[in-house]
Chains A and B, each alone.
Chain A
Amino acid sequence: MMEAAMQGNMAPVKKRQKLHPKEFLMWVFLVSVFMIFAGFTSGYIVRRADGNWVEFVLPVGFLYSTILVVLSSISAQWALIQARKDNLDRVKVGVGITALLGIAFILAQLNAFNQLVEIGMFLVGNPSGSFVYIITGIHALHLVSAIIVMFVIFANVFRYRVHSKNLLGIRLGTIYWHFLGILWIYLYIFLLIMN
């Protein structure tokens, strides 16, 4: 009932602002998620400038996960486009592939962690290594939440809840997915430059 009552209030606002409030909410949320990583990366810079910092080469495993994350964004966008066109079967395929690529990304990160261990960088030890684990780990946690979102969308497609008239859910999910992808690319380049 509250929702309905509120829509009465929404109508005039629509003219001024195309953005759905929930979508706006999503953007502000993304800003705050970004700030967590801004905290980590600026802490990284401050700490590194202090010296006593073990240098190492970033394992190639992180490159693989970067490729996976780019691919997953493409499939996520493709699914959204298909939803606009009401090609529900293709939406299912797109969302499914995105979720699977997300899982592959997580596995690729674990693989990269292994490579870190092989070159002697552990979670416990010099902060230069610990930072990499924390930064990538917290990012991966967010990605897990995004994978869950993709599964929910996937289920909703089967229940005919996702179509050209009802795009909000899939659009928000896709925005979140792209954001985490771009965030990862930022983190990857950051770590690459720093190592």
Chain B
Amino acid sequence: MSHNHEHHHDHHQESFISKYIFSMDHKMIAKQYLITGMIMAVVAALLSLLFRLQLGWPEDTFPWLESLLGDWGKGGRLDPNFYLALVTMHGTLMVFFVLTAGLSGTFSNLLIPFQIGARDMASPFMNMLSYWLFFLSSVIMLVSLFVESGPAAAGWTIYPPLSALPQAVPGSGLGMTLWLISMTLFIASSLMGSLNYITTILNMRTVGMKMTRMPLTIWSFLTTSILGVLSFPVLLAAAVLLIFDRSFGTSFYLSDIFIAGEALNRQGGSPILFQHLFWFLGHPEVYIVLMPALGITSEVIATNARKPIFGYRAMVGSLLGISFLSFIVWGHHMFVTGMNPFLGNVFMILTLVIAVPSAVKTFNYLATLWKGNIRFTPAMLFAIGLVSLFISGGLTGIYLGNAALDINLHDTYFVVAHFHLVMGSASMFGMLAGVYHWYPKMFGKLMNEKLGYLHFWLTFAAVYLVFFPMHFMGLDGVPRRYYNFTGFEYMSEWMDLNRFISVSAILGSAAQLIFIWNFFYSIRKGKDAPQNPWNSNTLEWTTPVERIHGNWPGEIPHVHRWPYDYSVPGAPQDFIPQTVKDDDLPETLRAPKVAPAPEHATAEASTTETLLFSRFLNLFGLKRA
């Protein structure tokens, strides 16, 4: 390997613009993604507070709403059209802008080059372009909040005809157009990011970094990107057809439906077609949101339980399994569209199969924690919180996956509860775990731990108080996306609960201010971070605290082991970084020279049966390979 480039990094002075604005450095781009994602999260949370206000106090008037929202808050009451717009924008911002771009963009950019031992991404230029397209699309989406007819109001899933007919609701006009423009840019940005991540991971690993030695974070970014490359183009195709329906009068999704007694001048379109195309992206998308969070959790849990991750191969296998399955289950969002019951059954069975790899991951997390020497850092708490939320929310997925049950539960608050726990909150917890854990790497400072604990407990309580009761409302048939429930006798009993949820949501959101304060305060005033604050094995902690261009001042370290050698008996410390050679370890720990097996060689099996059996156990990670 040629090392004659070692000193390139400390060359000329960079201008402010090339360092902070049009930066091509993966670390800076990661921070740009994080900050943009945080801004979008704040906006999305504020929007949700507005509609929670409506749901909690449907009869009351709030004069300040009128001064804040103008016509949308006339007489201190939220306008019903604007309610739908708020729900739509909240979902769109959270799912795509915060938990897709904000999460993947931040941590894939930060960690991929660091953890595989590369100086930067395969194409730093495309990386920069990807961020700026994302930025542009964020701006357009935010601008749509301020147009006179209001932002898009067809739900984050933008089903036609609300999205296809400009005259349908106020938000179907300019608001929807801006939504489509913004999402088109977003898809382009996300594709560029994914292309880069995949290429970098597969092509630019340092010496010794075999695929089987990659931290699980990297595996999860890889599978996430593969999902993105395969599914976002399909959303683009759906959007193209939608744009033609809206602007050129084609009939892909629209037929001669009657509106106010008049037949629409279209023929032969089918709104169900949109649902197929949308959910072909939509279901993988929920895993695009979740998988990076799972990867972060694996890393944080292993490091802080001071134990090797349990069932590494099973973890990788279940990531691959989930990715594969997520392409063939989209029909479970469409059980009530009148699909052929046989097809419904196929989707049902495939959907329930997803529970298997999900359960494997859960058990492996629990087994990793089991008898660990646990350090409860804020990051660790959020990671454990993710596991809890993943269980609570995943279980309800199995209910929804049953077509017969889903006919009752579809479009009720049960679904809202399900995906807010398993996707919204779990991924958000993963993201927060990541921020707490890699903050020292991003800013060279430590965040305040006490505030971290406070933030965790308030947030953890809030998400359960907000989302758990929604299950009961859903079971009672309370539909989602309704402006108010006062007109329905059987729902009146939920009024108090709704108010309780709204109060919890307000308090939970307020708790996020602690985090925001901690985040920005620590950038300037935080304690200086040591190079390897968590005694972690992975490569990013071998780089200097001062985040230099090219990441390592000298040559890129070589890798000699997997990343999870924690608490190895007989080792000098309770962790063995990936860069440590076997020869530097005490005699007893060296791998036998004869069989250059992976770090943790498969146990000898005397007979074929035991061999097969141990293989089988291995499959589920039940025996550490």
Q: Is A134 an interface residue (CB 8 A)?
A: yes
Those of B171-195 within 8 Å (CB) of chain A:
191, 194-195
B122 within 8 Å of A (CB atoms)? yes
Q: In this assembly, does A118 line the interface, its C-beta being within 8 Å of a C-beta of chain B?
A: no
Is B119 within 8 A of A130, CB to CB? no
Interface residues of A in 1-51 (CB under 8 A from B): 1-2, 4-13, 17, 19, 21-22, 24-25, 28-29, 31-40, 42-43, 46-47, 50
| Residues of chain B lying within 8 A (CB to CB) of residue A35 | 229-231, 233-234
A47–B267 Cα gap in the complex (Å)? 13
A5 and B550 in contact (CB under 8 A), knowing A21-B204, A127-B269?
yes
A146 at interface (Cβ–Cβ under 8 A)?
A: no
Cβ-based interface call for A57 (8 A): no
B234 touches A36 (CB 8 A): yes
Distance from A182 Cβ to chain B, minimum over Cβ atoms (Å): 17
State the CA gap A37–B118 with chains docked (Å).
34
Cα-based distance from A138 to B243 in the complex (angstroms): 13
Whole-angstrom distance between the Cβ of B20 and the nearest chain A Cβ: 17
**8 A–B contact pairs at CB < 8 A?**
A1-B8, A11-B2, A21-B203, A28-B229, A32-B230, A36-B236, A39-B238, A43-B277
A52 / chain B contacts, CB cutoff of 8 Å: 255, 267-268
In the complex, the answer to whether A24 meets B123 with C-beta atoms within 8 Å is no
What residues on A are CB-neighbors of B252 within 8 Å? 43, 47, 127, 130-131
**CB of B131, distance to nearest CB on chain A (Å):** 16
The answer to whether the Cβ of B376 comes within 8 Å of any Cβ in the partner chain is: no
Whether the Cβ atoms of A31 and B230 lie closer than 8 Å is yes
Within the complex, the shortest CB–CB distance from B38 to chain A, in Å, comes to 27
Docked-complex contact B118 and A6, CB < 8 angstroms:
yes
CB pair A43–B276 under 8 Å, yes or no, is: yes
Asked if A126 contacts B119 (CB within 8 A), the reply is no
Contact A33 B233 (CB under 8 A): yes
B202 contacts partner chain A, Cβ-Cβ < 8 Å: yes
Contacts of A126 in B (CB 8 A): 251, 267-268
**Contact indicator B5/A8 (Cβ below 8 Å):** yes
Contacts A2-B24, A24-B203, A126-B267 known; A134 to B234 CB distance under 8 Å? no
**A13 with B205: in contact, given A25-B196, A47-B270 (CB under 8 Å)?**
yes
State the 10 A-B residue pairs at the shortest beta-carbon distance, nearest first.
A39-B237, A35-B233, A39-B234, A8-B5, A36-B233, A52-B268, A130-B250, A21-B122, A21-B203, A124-B249
Contact A53 B8 (CB under 8 A): no
Cα–Cα, bound, A46→B549 (Å):
51
Q: Give chain B residues whose Cβ lies under 8 Å from the Cβ of A21.
A: 122-123, 199-200, 203-204
A123 at the interface (CB under 8 A from B): yes
Residues of A within 8 A of B194 (CB): 28, 32
Are B199 and A50 interface neighbours, CB within 8 A? Answer: no
Chain A residues lying within 8 Å of B527, measured Cβ to Cβ, are none
Task: Return chain A residues, CB-CB under 8 Å to B241.
Answer: 40, 43, 134
Among residues of A, the one whose C-beta sits closest to the C-beta of B555 is A8
Say yes or no for B597: interface residue by CB 8 A criterion: no
CA distance A53 to B194 in the complex (A): 37
Instruction: Given A43-B237, A123-B248, A124-B248, decide whether A5 and B8 contact each other with a Cβ distance below 8 A.
Output: yes
Other contacts beyond A29-B195, A35-B229: 20, CB < 8 A: A5-B120, A8-B1, A8-B119, A9-B117, A9-B118, A9-B119, A13-B203, A19-B203, A25-B126, A32-B229, A35-B233, A36-B236, A39-B233, A43-B241, A124-B249, A125-B251, A127-B269, A131-B252, A134-B244, A138-B240
On B, residues with C-beta under 8 Å from A are 1-6, 8-9, 11, 24, 117-120, 122-124, 126, 191, 194-196, 198-200, 202-207, 229-234, 236-238, 240-241, 244, 248-252, 255, 267-270, 272-273, 276-277, 280, 549-550, 555-556
Chain A stretch 120-158: residues in CB contact (< 8 A) with chain B: 123-128, 130-131, 134, 138
Q: Is the CB of A25 within 8 A of B199?
A: yes
Residues in A with CB closer than 8 Å to B5 are 4-5, 7-8
**Bound form: Cα–Cα A162–B282 in Å:** 43
Chain A residues contacting B206 (CB-CB under 8 Å) are: 9, 12
Cα–Cα distance between A4 and B4 once the two chains are bound (Å): 9
Q: How far is the CB of B400 from chain A (nearest CB, A)?
A: 23
* Contact partner, B1, options A1, A11, A128, A138, Cβ 8 Å: A11
Question: Bound state CA distance, A125 and B203, in angstroms?
Answer: 48
For residue A127, give the distance in angstroms from its CB to the closest CB of chain B: 5
Residue of A nearest to B237 (CB): A39
Q: Which residues of B contact A40 (CB under 8 A)?
A: 237, 241
User: Chain A residues near B207 (CB, 8 Å)?
Assistant: 12
Given A25-B195, A36-B236, A125-B251: A2 in contact with B204 (beta carbons within 8 A)? no
Write out the residue numbers on chain B whose beta carbons fall within 8 Å of the beta carbon of A130.
244, 250-252
Among residues of B, the one whose C-beta sits closest to the C-beta of A31 is: B229
In the complex the two chains form, what is the Cα distance from A134 to B243 in whole Å? 11
A6, A13, A46, A50, most chain B CB atoms within 10 A: A6
Residues of A within 8 A of B120 (CB): 2, 5-6
Is B1 a contact of A5 with CB atoms below 8 Å? Answer: no
Bound-complex Cα distance A31 to B122 (A):
18
Cα-based distance from A1 to B14 in the complex (angstroms) = 12
Task: Provide the bound-state CA to CA distance between A125 and B244, in Å.
Answer: 12
Nearest chain A CB to B447's CB is how many angstroms away? 30
Say how far A7's CB is from chain B's closest CB, in angstroms: 7
**Chain B's nearest CB lies how many Å from the CB of A158?**
25
Q: How far is the CA of A7 from the CA of B204 in the complex (A)?
A: 10
Q: Which chain B residue has the least Cβ–Cβ distance from A126?
A: B268
Cβ–Cβ contact A28 & B277, under 8 A: no
CB neighbours (8 Å) of A4 from chain B are 5, 8
Task: Write the chain B residue with the least CB distance to A35.
Answer: B233
Q: Is the CB of B195 within 8 A of A124?
A: no
Q: What is the bound-complex CA distance between A34 and B202, given in angstroms?
A: 21
Min Cβ gap B4→A in Å is 7
Which residue on A lies nearest to B280, using beta carbons? A39
Task: Output the least CB separation between B253 and chain A (Å).
Answer: 9
CB of A13 to closest CB in B, whole Å: 6
Q: Are B122 and A8 in contact (CB under 8 A)?
A: no
Q: How far is the CA of A29 from the CA of B268 in the complex (A)?
A: 34
CB <8 Å contact, B199 and A5: no
Please, how many angstroms separate the alpha-carbon atoms of A33 and B203 in the complex? Answer: 21
Q: Shortest beta-carbon distance, B552 to chain A, in Å?
A: 10
Assess the A46–B273 pair: CB atoms within 8 A: yes
Smallest CB–CB gap between A16 and chain B, Å? 9
Q: Looking at the complex, which one of A6, A42, A127 makes contact with B251 (CB distance below 8 Å)? A: A127
Q: What is the bound-complex CA distance between A35 and B327, given in angstroms?
A: 12
Q: Does B269 contact A28, Cβ atoms closer than 8 Å?
A: no
Which B residues are in CB contact (< 8 Å) with A38? 233-234
Contacts of A37 in B (CB 8 A): 237
Nearest residue, chain A, Cβ from B9: A5
Cα A46 to Cα B343 in complex, Å, equals 13
Q: How far is the CB of B203 from chain A (nearest CB, A)?
A: 4
- Name A36's closest neighbour in chain B (CB-CB): B233
Q: Are A123 and B1 in contact (CB under 8 A)?
A: no
Q: Across the interface, which residues of B come within 8 angstroms of A124, CB to CB?
A: 248-251
Closest to A53 in B: B268
How far, in whole Å, are A40 and B276 apart by their CA atoms in the complex?
Answer: 11
In contact, B119 and A6 (Cβ under 8 angstroms): yes
